[in-house]
Structure 1
Amino acid sequence: MMKWDSSNYSRSRLSRRSLLQSTAATLLTAPFISTSALAQDKLAGSGEVVVFSYGGTFTEGVRKHVYEPFTKATGIKVIDVVGDFAESQVKAMNQAGRIDWDIAYIDNYQQLHDAGMFVPIDYSLWEQESLEGTPMQARLNDAVAIFGVAMLLAYDHRAFPKGGPQNWADFWDVKNFPGPRGLFAPNAPRNIVFALLADGVANKDIWPLTDDKIDRGLAKLSEIKPHITKWWTAGGEAPQLLTNREYAISSVYDGRVLSAIRQGAPIKLAWDGAALGYVNAAILKGGPNTQNAQKLIAFLNRAPIAAGWTQGTGYPGPNANQVKYLPPEMLPLINISPENAPKCVMTDSAWLEAKRPDGKTNSEYIQERWLAWRAR
């Protein structure tokens, strides 16, 4: 399942809106994706569609590269409503029996799916290029992966003039790659994933994080713990500490480091073993403009529009065909590129949301283990 590992991400109290807005701020000047070829076709209509968004420069980028071209091509107006997380508001609308939105961006998909809150996606409206470029696991019956966020290894290239670390085994290799390290404090699963990769587990064998793998990952993390000079907690912190030479190597969020690199930060990336997850877009059952919502979902997954989304926000959706519409210099910095995508480890959020025999989710159990380990 391609979804963001949001259960632990949200515990960090790191504002999603802040994370996304600050990245988009440096990308708004990217070339506008022309939609002259996107004539008014089967997506044409009238009225409006109400869409959740994160506000600020993120929404500005989406408006410019997606919503305005959609309105021009179809005649349907997009109204965006701003929030940090959609799930609580979607639940509240369902409890009140009044659904005011048409589309929400959903992190914890399974619970709302099980409650029957979403409408099946009409893939008959999609272009063939969209269907061919978007993998099946990103096209669920009632949700579509809308954008991905990866956590990956980054380093200050000034610290390694002869070549820097290329994978998580190198992160653990303090002899050949000396210097202060950083890891993200709140995110237990991804740190365990990195430890398992450093310990020789193949990408395809990482998930699920069974108890023996958790034990193995925490034991490996104990080896590197003395070299973690600061556990970072905010998305912009790791790139800044790398730039300031307070880190030599660190995990980073891809969108935030992309922003820093485009502003001249002396940072290089190693995509091998990047932990990737997707946020889903879902059409809410009972929303006021369901058919228009279907048309917007189909439109934004067209390859040139998907490229516009990436240029406007810094966070790609899963349609791989978008790369031919992106500036070549951007490709090494994004998780959708042909070079980077095969190196990523997809987060199994469905497993993280699943409940254990004691009633706790796997995510809650891992978080408890993580906090106990951090306290030692």
Structure 2
Amino acid sequence: MKKTIMKSAIGGLAAAGLMFSAAVSYADDTLRIVSWGGAYQKGQSLGIFQPAAKAMGITVKEDTYGGISDVKLMVKSGADKFDIFSSGAGSCASGAAEGVLEKLDYSVIDVSNHLPGMYSDYCAGADIFSVVAAYNTETYGEGNGPKTWADFYDVEKFPGTRAMRNKVDGQLETALLADGVPKEKVYEVLDSEEGIERALNKIRSIKPHIAVWWSSGAQHAQLMKDGEVDMTTGWNGRFDVAKEDGAKVAYDWQSGIMDWEGYGIPKGAKNKDLAMKYIAEMMKPEYMAEFAKYITYGPTNGKVYELGLMEDSRARMMPSHPDNAKYQLTISQEWYAKWRTIAAEMYTEMMTE
């Protein structure tokens, strides 16, 4: 086994799109993993990817990608560009529904200590994050910005420019919550094209105030650092890192939509067996605790808390901490498996109207 660990210069990676040349054959002890770049992948690299590779005595090469659509394209075209990808639960469910993912072997991957619902047949959950409504504290004042999704959509009470994601994931839910739908009824309402259209109409109502449709966590964090918009949807950990870097940004857990990120294997991956063992290694609590030092995304492995691997002050910054989770809607994998493709088409049409 090789002992050399190949590190990518994460800061220089493109935040979206597959950045690969023609497929290259690697040795049996080399894996290729793709994620989202920016502060998130830096934390993954330092806390999980490279320490886990070192423990196994293998080489892991990192790159960025543009999401589950890249996995679908790669598998359907017969290309061979990566062995493992990092994905949100909804996107993973969508990929599984289209048959482009390998079923994970949970006799190899131990998820016995995972929090309930934080893994699926096709993706093993690694961290918990939240979609939140972040705002510029210079515009509204610390603690005086939008706290709920109703606030985010209230352009009279909170005038200013907005930004939303250019993909459907985690966006329709904000609209229905703003429209007064109780969180336990959100996916019931979305379980029809009429319900999806209701959410889209709510977004249309503030569309003149949406200045940017963001495409990555790095972008929405930069929007707040630069003061380019007054508020945006986005991922809590990216905003926390931006705040540490001097951004005037805040958010409230009352606007939280909790989701998990995990690891999957594309259908037909050449190094599937090693990829399965590597995912098993990454599920260990010590890696999740180390990752959480770099960005405020909580562990899916409950042993992190049981063993006291995270300081209490840090644990209270995580979306999954009970004091924060109690406010939040949890993303539905089942809805995304059933509706994501249709909803994504409708969402794109709405954006480009």
Whether the TM-score (by the shorter chain) exceeds 0.5 is yes
SS at match of 2:323: coil
Q: Structure 2 matches for 1:22-171, cutoff 5 A?
A: 48-54=29-35, 61-74=43-56, 76-85=57-66, 88=70, 92=74, 96=78, 102-106=83-87, 107-112=91-96, 115=99, 117-123=101-107, 125-126=109-110, 130-135=111-116, 137-158=117-138, 159-160=140-141, 163-171=144-152
Q: Which piece of structure 1 moves more, 182-191 or 55-64?
A: 55-64
What letter corresponds to residue 18 of structure 1 in structure 2?
A: A
Paired residue for 2:264, among 262, 266, 282? 282
Note if contact 2:265-2:275 (Cα within 8 Å) is conserved in structure 1: yes
Aligned to 1:196: 176
Aligned to 1:41: none
Alpha-carbon distance change, 338 to 225 in structure 1, aligned in 2, over 3 angstroms: same
What whole-Å deviation, never above 9, does each CA across 1:1-44 have from its counterpart, x for those lacking one? Answer: xxxxxxxxxxxxxx99527xxxxxxxxxxxxxxxxxxxxxxxxx
Count residues with an aligned counterpart.
321
What whole-Å deviation, never above 9, does each CA across 1:194-222 have from its counterpart, x for those lacking one? Answer: 22112211112111513343343344445
Q: Distance in 2 between matches of 1:244 and 1:99?
A: 38
TM-score by length of 1: 0.68
Q: Structure 2 matches for 1:344-359, cutoff 5 A?
A: 344-348=328-332, 350-354=334-338
Alpha-carbon distance change, 123 to 311 in structure 1, aligned in 2, over 3 angstroms: farther
TM-score by length of 2: 0.71
Q: Distance in 1 between matches of 2:128 and 2:251?
A: 17
SS at match of 2:257: strand
Q: Structure 2 matches for 1:251-290, cutoff 5 A?
A: 251-283=233-265, 287=269, 289-290=271-272
Aligned to 1:205: 185
State the structure with more CA Rg: 1
Q: Percent identity?
A: 19
What whole-Å deviation, never above 9, does each CA across 1:250-280 have from its counterpart, x for those lacking one? Answer: 3233232122111132222112232344444
Displacement of 1:180 in angstroms is 0.8
Paired residue for 1:335, among 301, 313, 319? 319
Note if contact 2:92-2:123 (Cα within 8 Å) is conserved in structure 1: no
Alpha-carbon distance change, 164 to 59 in structure 1, aligned in 2, over 3 angstroms: closer
Q: Distance in 1 between matches of 2:178 and 2:49?
A: 42
Q: Distance in 1 between matches of 2:236 and 2:252?
A: 11
Q: Which piece of structure 1 moves more, 98-107 or 213-222?
A: 98-107
Alpha-carbon distance change, 311 to 155 in structure 1, aligned in 2, over 3 angstroms: same
What whole-Å deviation, never above 9, does each CA across 1:119-173 have from its counterpart, x for those lacking one? Answer: 43224652xxx523332x3322233124455321122334235743321122244
Where does structure 1 lack aligned partners over 5 or more consecutive residues? 1-14, 20-46
Alpha-carbon distance change, 91 to 238 in structure 1, aligned in 2, over 3 angstroms: closer
Note if contact 2:31-2:82 (Cα within 8 Å) is conserved in structure 1: yes
Q: Distance in 2 between matches of 1:236 and 1:102?
A: 24
Q: Distance in 1 between matches of 2:74 and 2:232?
A: 39
SS at match of 1:206: helix
Paired residue for 1:217, among 199, 217, 242? 199
What letter corresponds to residue 179 of structure 1 in structure 2?
A: P
Q: Distance in 1 between matches of 2:124 and 2:250?
A: 31
RMSD of aligned residue pairs (Cα, Å): 4.0
Q: Distance in 2 between matches of 1:279 and 1:348?
A: 13
Alpha-carbon distance change, 265 to 290 in structure 1, aligned in 2, over 3 angstroms: same
Note if contact 1:196-1:206 (Cα within 8 Å) is conserved in structure 2: yes
Note if contact 1:122-1:294 (Cα within 8 Å) is conserved in structure 2: no
Q: Which piece of structure 1 moves more, 266-275 or 243-252?
A: 243-252
What whole-Å deviation, never above 9, does each CA across 1:215-266 have from its counterpart, x for those lacking one? Answer: 433444455445x262342545554554555544332332321221111322
Q: Which piece of structure 1 moves more, 253-262 or 234-243?
A: 234-243
Q: Distance in 2 between matches of 1:251 and 1:206?
A: 18
Note if contact 1:271-1:343 (Cα within 8 Å) is conserved in structure 2: yes
What letter corresponds to residue 329 of structure 2 in structure 1?
A: V
Note if contact 2:163-2:231 (Cα within 8 Å) is conserved in structure 1: no
Where does structure 2 lack aligned partners over 5 or more consecutive residues? 1-11, 17-27
Alpha-carbon distance change, 120 to 181 in structure 1, aligned in 2, over 3 angstroms: same
